[in-house]
Amino acid sequence: MNPIKFSNALIIYFLFSLCACGQGTKGSNRKKMLMHNDSIEMEKEAYWKTKLSDEQYYVLREKGTEQPFTGALLLNNDSGIYKCSACGNPLFTSESKFDSHCGWPSFDKEIKGGKIITQTDNSLGVERTEIMCAHCGGHLGHLFNDGPTSTGMRYCVNSVSLEFVPEKKLSTPRLDTLTLGGGCFWCVEAIYENLKGVVSVESGYSGGIKMNPTYNEVCTGTTKHAEVVQIIFNTSETSLDEIFKVFFTVHDPTTLNQQGADRGTQYRSVIFYRNEAQKKAAQSIIEELERTNIYDKKIVTSIEPFNVFYKADISHQDYFANNKNEDYCQLVIQPKVDKFEALFKNRLKK
């Protein structure tokens, strides 16, 4: 796809669609909503019960284990990709699968990109490392360091936690990843999830000094992290230019450490680039916006080299989709989504 250049008229049209992320006292609203996490989790489990089979729910949501040597994928040797059977998150390639004779599908490495998260499991009276899908939190199995290959690792996975996609059904898109901060990550995530060509969007934190920060820690402003979204996109269906067009449409790049009522360095406008192409594209669009004097004030969006992305916990992922009836979603996020859909109506996912 050829880069799409900004015209003055289009930039002005974007300006009219700008909407501050925070309206009212978002901080207090978020605290109130986070107090209801238990009820939110109950709603999520009700959703999974309708989406998953009884066996899938037992393993993925209740951390059960299927009987050894019974899984449909145990002896599968075809080429392809193994995805999470709950949400479709790609987890393993067929090249990493090996026969461990343990009774469950085994892999010696995961697909890169933080697809899997781990935690300590003491449920059987011994310490083990549980592996879970990073996208939906579904239980996959356990990780051991007794693998026979060069990695020394053995990801022991329940077949029912996996969906196999044969190689012949896989496309081979060229993917790119970009990390952006434009105020509340709930708002920005909800918009990019609807843009054609975007493969995945995750909310999290970047640019700070604290390792593995929590949401509450980032909210203090002392970690120096920004609330960000990490976007993986197919460059044959969208482009850096379009990603940046959306970015400068859905937030105000002229307010320092602030989006509407949201104040603090965690809400700063920032682009974390991974390579020179991303850096130059970011510089180019900011120069064009300033050259045409679209804004009354100077653009304060910072362009910084990417270092590390810390994914926010699952309660912050797909927040708008999971909590559309909440006041903040109705009053703040929905209007922004509506404007985005009106402006980019030909670029929405079907």
The C-alpha atoms of residue 159 and residue 72 are separated, in whole angstroms, by: 6
Structure tokens at 62: 């209740």
Please say whether the dihedral angle defined by the alpha carbons of residues 330, 334, 335 and 338, taken in this order, is positive or negative. negative
The C-alpha atoms of residue 128 and residue 103 are separated, in whole angstroms, by: 18
CB under 8 Å to 344, separation ≥6 — which residues?
195, 246
Residue of 156, 187, 219, 329 with catalytic role: 156
CB 56 within 8 A of CB 87: no
Q: What angle do CA 166, 117, 146 make, to 5 degrees?
A: 80
Structure tokens at 172: 């081979």
> Exposure of 241 by Cβ count < 10 A (0-12 exposed, 13-18 middle, 19+ buried)?
middle
Query: Among the residues of the chain, which ranges form H helices?
Result: 8-17, 26-34, 37-51, 54-56, 185-192, 215-219, 240-250, 276-291, 319-322, 327-328, 334-343
Residue of 184, 187, 219, 329 with catalytic role: 184
The C-alpha atoms of residue 159 and residue 138 are separated, in whole angstroms, by: 13
Q: 84 an active-site residue?
A: no
Q: 156 an active-site residue?
A: yes
Q: How many residues does the chain have?
A: 350
Q: How many CA atoms lie within 13 A of 193 on its CB side?
A: 17
> Hey, which residues are catalytic here?
156, 184
